[in-house]
């Protein structure tokens, strides 16, 4: 027998190159092109670093940068603690115990995600302000109002935590429900008590899931602009805005963006490291459901209140405050112009959702049709935009497209055409930015439904003589429709809520509900911000309830 | 009709090979079974042939044309190969008739052709149903009809019966191959079950760790297996090692490896009517009733343990066992 002869030959450089030539097809090229297109804003931030910092950079480093770093770390630290306590405790209680309204509370706990953080911020400012809701209630009760000042770092940490903890809740709960039952039973059989089971067994095992949720929260914390601006806290994001709009120094914005990206990558590395450390939890999901305990007496009410508290703080209170304001301001805010604005906002959200989902589909299927295996990993790079704050993406798009726009004006001017800003004067830049930022939101549900379709299904179509594209339209698309539909809805919600990126890239005459709410709040008309806010919340709420099952399955 | 030359495929850049240096030919109209344990590379081999994987080395040619090599690759949809997947892979959102119609192109009477295929597999009144409304056996036949409908020059069946229980399996296997015989298509039939292979294949290819161990007609594989592994695939076999050679006092060639099938070991031939060339005594450790026969676990004087099967119900505690030199299998190397 010939042994090993061909073995060495098969992976020599020469045969590898021959195969690379054989296996490169147009799908490989298309995938690379799309990834490059999506990564362009980040690449530009990197390239622009070489042009050196702006004039004010020295000033910022000396006076503001310590503040940015310190505040961002403060927020990261305290938000982590708060969302972990709120998210993990509520997830554990609803998966382990049965109590009054447990089923309703299970999905109510997700609802805070329907309210953008900045809107929660406005509501709480109103609740604690002089002449605010608390003040009124205290006066009604003839009590002295002790004002709690929340317009500061601590208040911001509270507001961000209370609106973002559901990310941790959802992923921790999914772990407790899907993976934990056999372990729980084993622990019970060993005679271990409830508290020890939780702290010694469930918590360490759920750590990768919890960390995954936490990292999402922290990315949102670093992404936030609206709440930090309103609460007067200087963060990296507010710094980027200040250098862009007030100081008019794009280079400084670029440098701040680059620093922020570094922080985000540190977070991602932290997550990867945490997940790697606890690989053993990736066991197959357990088909049996957790058997819920029914606690009695004081414990029952204790658990009930612990679970109710985040719902109350994260959803009921802010919404109540907004509704109260809405009633007061309805007559002045709710007019024809507002209806037009709402439709405009929906239109932008739905269009960008469809564009984003389209890109996600291209990326998923082109990389699948590419015969080169590394292309699949390359495709995942295109998804990284979810980690990059909206303001950073906006800067990364604005700089190159403005240059392109200027060039186009000059070129078309030669032909006597007055084109104006083709990319930045229209919605093109905005749609591009949404696609970069929210690609992961579309990619993940589609990819997971696509994974459920066994490979043998498209394979058999190909063996039957049908090419990739036709196979996609006739076989694969009908089978992943639900995933595509939920992807459209999820991106739609995110675009409706999006603020920083929209503020930077929107054309002058275009507004969204989020921008309108922000503008009212910035103009000392926070009460008027309630109606656009409620519109956002209700549009986001219906799909959140609707997608509840899907989120939990993930 | 199908020529495969030193075909190799690795999924980890050459550290391990799923398929290594596989070479064989398949004649038109033949049914060839590929037999191997799970992980032996059977599925990878057929996926390479179907064009669902790309080879790292070697080539595949069909009807004289290269369809895969280092610098050439014909897309699966251009290969005219029919493939029946282990899990059938019927399109769940299409009716049975639409499933079968799917691969038929450039034929004038498409509908008629599809209906003919349904008739052929005996499901003529099921065309409007959906896959999930059919039993496993029926789905299997639809998958076969769908694969045959575009008139492929080669039909590959990848473990088509492994999802079925034993009773249904034999029945369906016969049905399926009756249908296939009518079409005169060349067939590659992947299985881990030697019974499946023996009952339908003209020739059998044995795959172990991605390599072809033996390719031969069925009867030869039983009589002249090329390795101990192949021998044991077609019935339980005892390796006659040095200790056994001493126990039976049968000196054998040292450069070769020898074995005897358990069924060829004779139990209790009394020393008087002695028809075994090699003989020894053994102690019965355990008897296991198998209905019409008994399985015996024996211990030889040398300490070696051995299982044999006998019809004789009256077994003493110490018995004689033996075998003849004509039943000894000889292999080139020890596997």
pLDDT the model gives residue A282:
46
Q: In this predicted model, what pLDDT tens digit does every residue of B101-150 receive, in sequence order?
A: 998 887 678 888 899 889 888 888 889 999 999 988 889 889 999 999 98
Is residue B268 predicted with pLDDT exceeding 80?
no
Contacts of B191 (CB under 8 A, 6+ apart): B33, B34, B35, B159, B161, B162, B197
pTM of the model: 0.85
Alpha carbon distance A493, A514 (integer Å): 11
Alpha-carbon distance of B172 to B297, in angstroms, equals 36
**Cα A191 → chain centroid:** 41
Question: Using a CB-CB distance cutoff of 8 angstroms, which residues of chain A are in contact with residue B92?
Answer: 457, 479
Burial of A46 (0-12, 13-18, 19+ CB in 10 A): middle
In contact, A533 and A119? CB cutoff 8 Å: yes
If one counts every other C-beta atom within 10 angstroms of the C-beta of residue A314, the result is 28
Give dist(CA B144, CA B123) in Å, integer. 12
Cβ of A254: how many Cβ atoms within 10 Å? 28
For B174, half-sphere exposure in the C-beta direction (CA atoms, 13 angstrom radius) is 5
| Residue contact B14–A371, C-beta within 8 A | no
Give per-residue pLDDT as tens, A361-372.
999 999 999 988
Q: In angstroms, rounded to a whole number, what is the distance separating the alpha carbons of residues B13 and A372?
A: 13
- Nearest-Cα distance to chain B for A374, in Å, is 12
Asked if B6's CB is within 8 angstroms of A464's CB, the reply is no
CA distance B161 to B169: 6
On the question of pLDDT at A553 being above 60, the answer is: no
pLDDT tens profile B46-84: 999 999 999 999 999 999 999 999 989 999 999 999 999
User: Do the Cβ atoms of A19 and B6 come within 8 Å?
Assistant: no
Residue A509: burial class (beta carbons within 10 Å; 0-12, 13-18, 19+):
exposed
Task: Tell me if B268 sits within 8 A of B315, measured CB to CB.
Answer: yes
Between A and B, how many CB-CB pairs are < 8 A?
99
DSSP assignment of A147-177 equals: ----SSHHHHHHHHHHHHTHHHHHHHHHHHH
- Delineate the domains of chain B, giving CATH numbers in brackets: 2-233 (3.40.50.300), 237-331 (2.40.50.100)
Q: Mean per-residue pLDDT for A219-226?
A: 93
Token duo for residue B146: 């769908």
- Count of residues for chain B? 335
Is the Cβ–Cβ distance between A217 and A171 less than 8 Å? no
Q: What is the pLDDT of residue A13?
A: 85
CA dist A342 → A241, A337, A350, A378, A546 (Å): 25, 9, 12, 38, 22
Three-class SS state of B203: strand
Distance CA B286, CA B73 (A): 58
pLDDT at residue A319 greater than cutoff 90: yes
Cβ distance of A18 and B13 shorter than 8 Å:
no
Q: Nearest chain A residue to B154 by CA: give it.
A: A463
Q: Which of B21, B16, B9, B23 is nearest to B53 (CA)?
A: B9
Checking if the pLDDT of A284 tops 60, the result is no
Bridge partners, B286 (sequence order): B297
Look at residue B155 and tell me whether its pLDDT is greater than 50.
yes
Query: Which residues on neighbouring strands pair with residue B239, listed in sequence order?
Result: B259
Contact A10 B57 (CB under 8 A): yes
The two three-digit tokens of residue A131, written as one number? 């002449």
Distance from CA of B111 to the nearest CA of A (A): 16
- Transcribe B210-237 into DSSP letters: TEEEEEEEHHHHHHS-SSHHHHHHTS-E
Beta strand pairing status for B31-35 and B203-208?
Answer: parallel
User: For A135-176, what is each residue's pLDDT tens digit?
Assistant: 888 888 877 767 788 889 999 999 999 999 999 999 898 888
Which residues in B lie closer than 8 A to residue A2 (C-beta atoms)? 21
Q: How far is CA A41 from CA A388, A390, B12, in A?
A: 10, 11, 34
DSSP string for A34-52: HHHHHHHHHHHHHHHGGG-
* Chain B residues in contact with A473 (beta carbon < 8 A): none
The CATH T-level fold of domain A54-245+275-330 is MetI-like fold (1.10.3720)
Nearest by CB: A460 against B8, B13, B89: B89
**pLDDT at residue B335, rounded to an integer:** 46
Integer CA distances (angstroms), A11 to A14, A102, A180, B45, in order? 8, 59, 44, 19
Dist. CA A427–CA A352, nearest whole Å: 10
Give the β-pairing of B154-158 and B186-191: parallel
Residue B332 touches chain A, beta carbons under 8 Å = no
Residue A2 confidence (pLDDT) above 50: no
Give the total residue count for chain A: 554
Residue corresponding to tokens 């930015």:
A433
| Sign of the alpha-carbon torsion through B31, B32, B36, B40 | negative
pLDDT given for residue B205 in this prediction: 94
Report helix, strand or coil for A150.
coil
Q: Do domains A24-52+334-511 and A54-245+275-330 have the same CATH topology?
A: yes
- pLDDT, residue A176, reads 85
For residue B255, count other CB atoms closer than 10 A to its CB: 7
**pLDDT at A422 > cutoff 60:** yes
pLDDT digits (tens, 9 = 90+) for B229-251: 888 888 888 888 888 888 888 87
Calculate the CA A410 to chain-centre distance. 38
Select the residue of B17, B51, B77 nearest A466 (Cβ to Cβ). Answer: B77
Task: Find chain A residues with C-beta within 8 A of B72's C-beta.
Answer: 22
**Inter-residue contact A206 to A361 (CB < 8 Å):** no
Q: Hey, is the C-beta of B57 within 8 angstroms of any chain A C-beta?
A: yes
How close is the nearest chain A Cα to the Cα of B275, in Å?
A: 39
Does the distance separating the beta carbons of B21 and A2 come in below 8 Å?
Answer: yes
User: Is residue A294 classed exposed, middle or buried when 0-12, 13-18 and 19+ CB atoms within 10 A define those classes?
Assistant: exposed
pLDDT at A279 over 80: no
- Here the tokens at position A484 are 């595509």
Task: Give the SS3 label for residue B10.
Answer: coil
What are the Cα distances from residue B109, in Å, to A24, B77, B101? 38, 21, 11
**Domain range list for chain A:** 24-52+334-511, 54-245+275-330
Query: Which tokens go with A126?
Result: 């109103």
- Token readout for A238 is 């507010």
ipTM of the complex: 0.83
Query: How confident is the model at residue B69, as a pLDDT?
Result: 92
Q: Which among A465, A463, A452 has a CA at the least distance from the CA of B84? A: A463
CB B267 within 8 A of CB B296: yes
Q: What DSSP line would sit under B252-269, residue for residue?
A: --TTSEEEEEGGGSEE--
For the domain A24-52+334-511, what is the CATH code?
1.10.3720.10
- pLDDT > 50? residue A4: no
- Sorted by sequence, the CB contacts under 8 Å of residue B130 that are 6+ apart come out as B92, B93, B94, B95, B96
Q: Which sign does the torsion angle of CA A368, A374, A380, A381 carry? A: negative
- Assign B188 to helix, strand or coil: strand
Mean pLDDT of A324-335: 89
Cβ–Cβ < 8 Å for B120, B147: no
Q: Do A18 and B17 touch (CB under 8 A)?
A: no
pLDDT at residue number A180: 65
Q: For the segment A69-83, what is each residue's pLDDT rounded down to a tens digit?
A: 999 999 999 999 999
The pLDDT > 70 percentage for chain A reads 93
In terms of Cβ atoms closer than 10 Å to its own Cβ (0-12, 13-18, 19+), residue A291 is: exposed
* Mean of pLDDT over chain B: 87
Residue with tokens 């897309």, as numbered in its chain: B75
Give the confidence band of A3 by pLDDT, cuts at 50, 70, 90.
very low
Reported confidence tier of residue B2, pLDDT bands at 50, 70, 90: very high
To the nearest whole percent, how much of chain A has pLDDT over 90? 44
Q: Is the dihedral of CA A33, A35, A41, A46 positive or negative?
A: negative
Angle at B239 between CA B234 and CA B245, to 5 degrees: 145
Contacts of B51 in chain A (CB under 8 A): 462-463
Place of tokens 């919600």: A493
pLDDT of A280 over the 90 cut: no
Among residues A160, A177, A165, A193, the alpha carbon closest in space to that of A93 is found at: A177
| CA gap B148, B143 in Å, rounded | 9
Which residue matches tokens 């034999």?
A: B170
CB B108 within 8 A of CB B114: no
């Amino acid at each position: 027998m010939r042994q090993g002869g061909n073995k060495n030959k098969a992976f020599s450089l020469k045969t590898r190159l021959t195969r690379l030539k054989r296996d490169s097809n147009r799908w490989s090229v298309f995938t690379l092109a799309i990834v490059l297109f999506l990564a362009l804003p980040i690449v530009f931030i990197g390239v622009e670093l070489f042009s050196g910092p702006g004039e004010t950079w020295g000033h910022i480093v000396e006076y503001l940068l310590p503040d940015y770093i310190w505040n961002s770390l403060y927020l990261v630290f305290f938000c982590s603690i708060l969302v972990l306590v709120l998210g993990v405790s509520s997830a554990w209680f609803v998966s382990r115990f049965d109590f009054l309204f447990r089923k309703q509370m299970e999905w109510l706990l997700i609802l805070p995600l329907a309210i953008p953080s900045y809107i929660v911020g406005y509501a709480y400012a109103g609740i604690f302000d002089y002449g605010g809701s608390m003040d009124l209630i205290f006066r009604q009760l003839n009590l002295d109002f002790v004002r709690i000042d929340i317009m500061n770092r601590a208040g911001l940490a509270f507001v961000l935590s209370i609106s973002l903890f559901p990310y941790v809740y959802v992923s921790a709960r999914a772990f407790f429900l899907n993976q934990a039952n056999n372990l729980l039973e084993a622990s019970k059989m060993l005679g271990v008590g409830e508290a020890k089971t939780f702290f010694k067994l469930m918590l360490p095992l759920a750590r990768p899931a919890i960390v995954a949720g936490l990292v999402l929260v922290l990315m949102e914390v670093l992404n936030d602009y609206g709440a930090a601006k309103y609460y007067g806290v200087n963060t990296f994001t507010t710094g980027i805005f200040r250098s862009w709009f007030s100081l008019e120094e794009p280079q400084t914005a670029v440098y701040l963006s680059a620093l922020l990206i570094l922080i985000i990558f540190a977070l991602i590395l932290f997550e990867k490291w945490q997940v790697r450390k606890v690989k053993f939890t990736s066991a197959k999901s357990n088909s049996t459901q957790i058997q819920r305990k029914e606690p009695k007496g004081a414990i029952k009410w204790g658990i009930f209140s612990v679970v109710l508290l985040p719902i109350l703080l994260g959803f009921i209170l802010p919404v109540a405050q907004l509704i109260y304001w809405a009633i007061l301001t309805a007559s002045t805010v709710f007019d024809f112009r507002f209806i037009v604005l709402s439709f405009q906002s929906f239109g932008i959200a739905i269009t960008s959702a469809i564009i984003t989902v389209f890109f996600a589909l291209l990326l998923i299927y082109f990389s699948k049709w590419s015969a080169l295996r590394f292309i699949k990993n390359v495709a995942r790079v295109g998804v990284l935009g979810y980690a990059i704050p909206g303001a950073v993406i906006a800067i990364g798009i604005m700089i190159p497209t403005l240059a392109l726009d200027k060039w186009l004006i000059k070129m078309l001017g030669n032909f006597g055409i007055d084109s104006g800003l083709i990319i930045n004067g229209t919605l093109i830049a905005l749609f591009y930015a949404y696609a970069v930022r929210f690609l992961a939101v579309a990619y993940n549900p589609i990819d997971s439904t696509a994974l459920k379709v066994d490979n043998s299904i498209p394979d058999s179509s190909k063996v039957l003589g049908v090419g990739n594209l036709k196979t996609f339209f006739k076989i694969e698309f009908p089978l992943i429709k639900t995933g595509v539909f939920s992807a459209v809805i999820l991106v739609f919600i995110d675009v409706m809520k999006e603020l920083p990126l929209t503020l930077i890239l929107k054309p002058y005459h275009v507004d969204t509900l989020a921008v309108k709410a922000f503008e009212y709040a910035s103009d000392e008309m926070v009460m008027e911000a309630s109606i656009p806010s409620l519109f956002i919340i209700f549009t986001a709420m219906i799909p959140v309830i609707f997608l509840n099952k899907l989120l939990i399955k993930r | 009709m199908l020529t495969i030359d030193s075909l190799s495929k690795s999924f980890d850049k050459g550290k391990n090979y799923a398929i290594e240096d596989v070479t064989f030919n398949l004649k038109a109209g033949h049914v060839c079974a590929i037999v191997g344990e799970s992980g032996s590379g059977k599925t990878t081999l057929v996926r390479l042939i179907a064009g669902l994987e790309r080879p790292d080395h070697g080539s595949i040619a069909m009807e004289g044309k290269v369809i895969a090599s280092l610098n050439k690759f014909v897309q699966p949809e251009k290969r005219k190969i029919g493939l029946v997947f282990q899990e059938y892979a019927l399109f769940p959102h299409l009716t049975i008739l639409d499933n079968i119609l799917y691969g038929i192109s450039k034929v004038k009477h498409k509908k008629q052709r599809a209906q003919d295929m349904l008739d052929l597999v005996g499901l003529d009144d099921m065309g409007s149903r959906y896959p999930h409304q059919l039993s496993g056996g029926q789905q299997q036949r639809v998958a076969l009809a769908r694969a045959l409908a575009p008139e492929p020059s080669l039909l590959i069946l990848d473990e088509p019966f492994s999802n079925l229980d034993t009773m249904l399996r034999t029945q369906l296997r016969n049905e399926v191959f009756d249908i296939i015989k009518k079409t005169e298509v060349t067939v590659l039939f992947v299985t881990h079950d030697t019974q499946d292979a023996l009952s339908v294949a003209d020739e059998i290819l044995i795959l172990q760790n991605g390599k072809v161990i033996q390719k031969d007609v069925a009867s030869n594989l039983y009589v002249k297996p090329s390795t101990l592994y192949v021998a044991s695939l077609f019935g339980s076999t005892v390796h006659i090692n040095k200790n056994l050679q001493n126990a039976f006092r049968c000196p054998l060639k040292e450069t070769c490896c020898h074995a005897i099938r358990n069924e060829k070991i004779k139990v209790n031939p009394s020393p008087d009517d002695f028809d075994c060339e090699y003989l020894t005594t053994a102690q019965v450790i355990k008897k296991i009733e198998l209905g019409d026969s008994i399985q015996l676990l024996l211990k030889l004087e040398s300490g070696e343990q051995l299982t044999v099967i006998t019809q004789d119900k009256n077994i003493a505690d110490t018995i004689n066992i033996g075998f003849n030199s004509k039943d000894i299998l000889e292999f080139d190397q020890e596997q």
